[in-house]
Structure 1
Amino acid sequence: MRRATDWLQSRARLTPQKLALVEVETGLRLTYEQFDLRAKRLGAYLQQNGVRKGDRVSLLALNSAGHLELLFACAKIGAVFVPLNHRFSVPELSYVLNDCQPTVLVVFEPFADLAQELRSQVQVSVHIEQAVYQQIASAEVGGSVLHPVEVDEEDPWAIIYTGGTTGKSKGAILSHRAILWNSINSVLSWGLTEHEVTPVYMPMFHTGGLNALTTPVLHAGGTVVIARDLSPAAILEVLEREGCTIALLVPTVYHTLVTSPEFQGATFTTMHTFLSGGAPCPLSIYEAFWAKGLAFKEGYGLTEAGPNNFYIHPDRAKQKIGSVGVPMFHNEVRIVDDQGCDLPAGETGELWIQGPHVFSGYWNKPEIFAETLVDGWLRTGDLARRDADGCHYIVGRKKDMIITGGENVYPLEVEHILEHHPSISEVAVVGLPDTKWGEVVTAIVVLQTGQTLTGEILKEYCTGQLAGYKIPKRWEFVRELPKTSVGKIDKKAIVHLHTQHETA
């Protein structure tokens, strides 16, 4: 057994006056010393109100400093932090709360009414509203002493619930070991330093918002800027005013950003790297940043591993467009066939990951965990290939692969071609049931404002760029694509909507 380190306390000891957190909407600015002190006060209050090692502490809030204060407060007392997806419906939230059974539910505005509705369906011992929370953190109430707790690296630190697009949400258990090693891996492989300033726009109930850059930058002694306004003007203003150096956004936000008039005049005087994650990134976004002389690259991760798994230098990303690069320092990957045999370079198979950053299980779902983690290897369900130089490319979800007339079609390949058409704003390629082909390749297209296209025109555009069986046989033009709670295009919803429409 290895005792878990209270690394917020360590950072506060090493660099007490260094700026740790900025909360854009409230103006809150905390040094590491202040940050650690607030987490200690919250931990002491939780202990005073009956929270013991292993108990769950849930938070229902928009992105806030509270997510990080409670995360580290839980670390100090051995409790388990459960950030809730505020975009979930009441039944979805009720399911999550009944599944993890938290001792404490902390609720920030504007979710007081939602929390009141949940109270009739879920039994929680302690409810803390935002005003009381702030009084505790600032020592206006409480004042009890924090009692040290022995915490092991394998003890759970957080439970992150998946988006639920494949059924009921699953709570991925992240141990102190997993979060620590994701941070070590990221700092070492990506070269993060105490000089980093990163904005957090990805939702903090998601591992991308909590662990992709946030905890690694804090571990390195940098500054985390928490923001909510996703308008291009607001994002650009925060990047410049706070002196941000590295940023992670999802492709849908990048799309809005690079097509905005504000982007054309932006200078990005302090930024050294833009990262894309959460979903495959269109090549047009790469090109928009490269045209301004800015470093841009793509990453790959999932709640169950990291979420950071690969590294690619921005210069190499220009040569290996669409690649996520090579495995990070402290993890290994395999690409395997359906029998679990390793595939050679150039062939597509399922991506398996191994390393100390991998999760510990699914809360209350040991049978699913047993199918997901086999002999120490996490079976991601994602398809990937490796080129002769060892660079990896994510092809898509295994379940999203289309089998049409006996041929395999990877939607991402088709989407990349279509996204280059100047009249297309967004596109999703899915397989829909078909009596002749088994599945028919179908493109769901959002056009640029004021543009008109037909399926025949797009078929002609694809000819010569794609094999005939990969070219969509069906074309649907829509105003917008459905998105998941973390901004990914929701292909399950697309298939459901279009299948339902046909059978109605």
Structure 2
Amino acid sequence: MSETLDHTLAPIDTTGFDRPAHWVKHQNVAAEWSAVPQQTVIEIVTNGCLEDPERPILIVEDGPAMTRREFLCRCQGFAGYLKTFLKPGDRVVVMLDNRLEFMIALFGIIANRATLVSIPPTAQEFDAGHIVKDAAPVAAIFGKPQQAVINAVRGQSPALGHMIIVDGDEPDGLASYENAATPLDFKKAECRREDVITVYYTSGTTGAPKGCMLHHGWWLRVIDIDLRLFRRGWQDRQLCCLPFYYADPAIQLLTSLASRGTLIAMRRFSVSRFWDVVTTYDATEILSIASIPALLLKGEPGPAERDHRIRLAIHAGLPKELHQEMIDRYGFHWHNQYGSTEGGIMSRVPHHLADELVGTGTMGMEPPGVFIRLVDDNDVDVAPGEAGEALIAGPDLYVGYLNRPETTAEANRGGWYHSGDVARRDERGLLYFVGRKKEIIRRSGENISAAEVEAVLRSHPLVLEVAVVPVPDQLRGEEVKVYVQIKVGKTMADLPPEEIIDFCKARLAAFKIPRFIEYREEDFERTPSMRVLKQSLTKAKADLRSGAWDRETGTFGD
């Protein structure tokens, strides 16, 4: 009898919450769980590989392609090796670049009822050490480039006894382990739906990152929602341009397994290579996040942008100012989506309203089975059209935060997950993102969304990336500061601060116009989800006015 794992599913209650009849709805959506009748992720992997064994499941740009037969064989072989020392509930940290071995390790760990704890491959001793100490893993899987960091932080977990290095040519980096023991037949795996199978550490924009625990149910629910909202088949090839250490690539791989499709993976996102990868490997769908669309638009136009088979892109946080330009330039729809590690897919633009909603900025509507309330600081529902924190409910949300029961209880108070995101809903029930609750700047009593100001500035043709933060001010409480990274090959002379201010004045209310502007030459430090790590900006100097241009004086501060 396998031991019981020590965790509690987050309590979610939707009693008495009904959607008004006049709200829009997703159309032609099949019944819940019809796309994913399986009870564990390993069942999806097994069924998907055995159903069509010779079809490729994963192709890495400039790397190998792997059939479902080989993928399952390698996963089962590595799982057999892990079985010699893993027990249910054990945690294994994985610190790897975008290599096929990452996914082999993922499912090998899950099949043993253990938990993969993801560490960004670029992490250094401080951030990797925090994760290792907090997660207390018994094993580490890492590549040669990550070996020094893992060795340096190994002592943070007394239980860390197994060091597994991915070495050699892809996909043979784990071959010596795959062949070291009797393979674990995935059809005989004893996984349970409630097993915690992955831990992803949150961005940590306002404090130390927290380990978000996800069980089989979370993954099954996300895959089921995704496939019911957008049907896929054997002819579909999803493009993954995100790092494997984030959850989205594994979601894309599992939806491909469940629909007989193929996943095309980039080593890392690149504007210059993006469309060549799309056309070379015949991708049909794109998933993107953060500033990817804005960065693509900054690239030089080329014939590959229209010579493709893409029929849809799904993006989290689509910039409304760029939406129509994206469709005109690339020739397909980009659907805005709202989601999080804790809540999974929480809303998406309904497919039948795609044309009508271009450029509106809406995040769409909750899919069937997901519920969102907008509340004030006292958890009282706000009136229609007013902004409030988004509270999420539905089956199989995240389990909780690792080692933080009080934080989990606070986030889930009242039976609803408190997202920390501020949104509003229009008269049709469509949702609009306002900003992060902790990233709302209060200037002279007015609320300013950092995300709104950033979206406007990203639409400037010479702006590559921006970040907006508050600056303490004795008179107004807080002022708005923007960090600006200009497009490669351009300088401040091409985009002086006065032009930035004029650009904002034409598009924003007067109280939202930034007061301080600071130029950056290097890229911003980023979170695992590719968002700008604003904590690194606000802690870089004691006085955030220093070195910034001040709109009120027209000069740069000392």
What TM-score, normalized by structure 1, do the two folds share? 0.91
Q: Is the 8 A contact 1:6 1:76 kept in 2?
A: no
Q: Give a deviation string over 1:340-369, Cα, whole Å, max 9, x none.
A: 122233211111111224100111111111
Q: State yes or no: 1:170 paired with 2:210.
A: yes
Q: State yes or no: 1:204 paired with 2:236.
A: no
How many residue pairs were aligned? 500
Secondary structure in structure 1 of the residue aligned to 2:539: helix
- Measure how far apart 1:489 and its partner are: 2.0
* 1:493 equivalent among 536, 542, 545: 536
- Measure how far apart 1:322 and its partner are: 1.6
- Measure how far apart 1:91 and its partner are: 2.0
Partner of 1:129: 165
* 2:46 equivalent among 9, 27, 35: 9
Residues in 2 aligned to 1:265 and 1:355: alpha-carbon distance in whole angstroms: 41
Q: State yes or no: 1:36 paired with 2:79.
A: no
Q: Is the 8 A contact 1:186 1:308 kept in 2?
A: no
Secondary structure in structure 2 of the residue aligned to 1:324: strand
- Measure how far apart 1:15 and its partner are: 2.0
Q: Is the 8 A contact 2:144 2:167 kept in 1?
A: no
Could you say if the C-alpha distance between residues 192 and 103 of structure 1 is closer, same or farther in structure 2, counting changes exceeding 3 Å?
same
Could you say if the C-alpha distance between residues 412 and 83 of structure 1 is closer, same or farther in structure 2, counting changes exceeding 3 Å?
closer
- For residues 368-407 of structure 1, the aligned pairs below 5 Å read 368-407=407-446
Could you say if the C-alpha distance between residues 317 and 103 of structure 1 is closer, same or farther in structure 2, counting changes exceeding 3 Å?
farther
Partner of 1:247: 286
Could you say if the C-alpha distance between residues 385 and 128 of structure 1 is closer, same or farther in structure 2, counting changes exceeding 3 Å?
same
* 2:335 equivalent among 297, 300, 319: 297
Residues in 2 aligned to 1:358 and 1:317: alpha-carbon distance in whole angstroms: 31
Partner of 2:152: 117
Could you say if the C-alpha distance between residues 121 and 155 of structure 1 is closer, same or farther in structure 2, counting changes exceeding 3 Å?
closer
- Measure how far apart 1:145 and its partner are: 4.3
Residues in 1 aligned to 2:500 and 2:166: alpha-carbon distance in whole angstroms: 52
Could you say if the C-alpha distance between residues 396 and 266 of structure 1 is closer, same or farther in structure 2, counting changes exceeding 3 Å?
same
Q: Is the 8 A contact 1:386 1:393 kept in 2?
A: yes
Secondary structure in structure 1 of the residue aligned to 2:273: helix
Q: Is the 8 A contact 1:349 1:385 kept in 2?
A: yes
Moved over 6 A (4+): none
- Measure how far apart 1:308 and its partner are: 5.5
Residues in 2 aligned to 1:176 and 1:265: alpha-carbon distance in whole angstroms: 39
Partner of 1:20: 57
Partner of 2:348: 310
Could you say if the C-alpha distance between residues 71 and 461 of structure 1 is closer, same or farther in structure 2, counting changes exceeding 3 Å?
closer
- Measure how far apart 1:502 and its partner are: 4.7
Secondary structure in structure 2 of the residue aligned to 1:6: helix
* 1:222 equivalent among 248, 261, 279: 261
Residues in 1 aligned to 2:366 and 2:90: alpha-carbon distance in whole angstroms: 35
Partner of 1:193: 233
Q: Which moved more, 1:416-425 or 1:364-373?
A: 416-425
Residues in 2 aligned to 1:139 and 1:445: alpha-carbon distance in whole angstroms: 47
What TM-score, normalized by structure 2, do the two folds share? 0.82
Residues in 2 aligned to 1:190 and 1:46: alpha-carbon distance in whole angstroms: 36
Q: Is the 8 A contact 1:207 1:307 kept in 2?
A: no
Partner amino acid for 2:538?
Answer: V
Could you say if the C-alpha distance between residues 394 and 480 of structure 1 is closer, same or farther in structure 2, counting changes exceeding 3 Å?
farther
Partner amino acid for 1:38?
Answer: R
Secondary structure in structure 2 of the residue aligned to 1:243: coil
- Measure how far apart 1:281 and its partner are: 3.2
- For residues 453-464 of structure 1, the aligned pairs below 5 Å read 453-463=495-505
Partner of 1:182: 222
In structure 1, list runs of 5 or more residues that go unmatched: none
In structure 2, list runs of 5 or more residues that go unmatched: 5-37, 547-557
Q: State yes or no: 1:64 paired with 2:64.
A: no
- Measure how far apart 1:422 and its partner are: 4.0
Secondary structure in structure 1 of the residue aligned to 2:144: coil
Q: Give a deviation string over 1:101-138, Cα, whole Å, max 9, x none.
A: 22221112322233333335444111111149937548
Q: State yes or no: 1:367 paired with 2:406.
A: yes
Q: Is the 8 A contact 2:323 2:358 kept in 1?
A: no
Partner of 2:382: 343
Q: Is the 8 A contact 1:136 1:142 kept in 2?
A: no
- For residues 464-475 of structure 1, the aligned pairs below 5 Å read 465-475=507-517
- Of structures 1 and 2, the one with the larger relative CO (CA 8 A, separation 6+) is 2
- For residues 372-451 of structure 1, the aligned pairs below 5 Å read 372-448=411-487, 449-450=490-491, 451=493
Residues in 2 aligned to 1:100 and 1:311: alpha-carbon distance in whole angstroms: 36
- Measure how far apart 1:370 and its partner are: 0.6
Q: State yes or no: 1:86 paired with 2:121.
A: yes
Secondary structure in structure 2 of the residue aligned to 1:30: strand
Secondary structure in structure 2 of the residue aligned to 1:150: coil
Partner of 2:81: 45
Q: Is the 8 A contact 1:233 1:262 kept in 2?
A: no
